Homo-oligomer: A and B are copies of this chain.
């Protein structure tokens, strides 16, 4: 067949990413299939490769969307909160991971070939989330120490992430930990408190 034109190229890309994201949420990275995405949007596997160029690029697009949804969740969660904003941010981290288990895990399950860097769009998505958290951390610091917000935020994000990973992958279950979010919150409080 030839051009079908019910969708522009950008629309088609958008539709494929949306369907791919749903598929990822349902089956997870290990059982994700590009053919299945094609099937779901009513196109053939070849079209997926025409639009995205490679399997990796498709995954990257889907993970990028997950990051955008994650940021969205974080923003909404902080929108009408006055107190304990850092704690709410941690809660949002865990909530998103729990609610979107598979899509969230896919962000970390997928690895680009070595010596390959993610595209600028994707990196921007990561930084966008980071920037939101930096602002919160800065707010929690005394004015004299606010220039330390960025390195501190990197470390605190890693800290929360570690707790979230162990909660999601069963490590904490093996070790008998039952309040991962609380533990993460303690570490964050200590780190911020010591500069106060």
Contacts and interface: CB of A to CB of B under 8 A. Distances in A.
A158 interface: yes
Interface in A107-140: 108-109, 111-112, 117-118, 123, 126-127, 130
A15 B93 CA distance: 42
Contact of A191 (B109, B171, B187): B187
Interface in A156-177: 157-163, 165-166, 169-172, 174-177
A186 interface: yes
B169 A154 contact: no
A172 B154 contact: yes
Interface residues of A, number: 42
A155 B174 contact: no
A48 interface: no
A135 to B, nearest CB: 15
Given A111-B169, A169-B111, A191-B190, A163 B174 contact: no
A84 to B, nearest CB: 19
Contacts of A105: 111
Given A165-B165, A170-B118, A190-B191, A177 B159 contact: no
A27 to B, nearest CB: 11
A79 interface: no
Given A155-B184, A155-B187, A160-B162, 4 more contacts: A28-B111, A111-B169, A126-B174, A155-B183
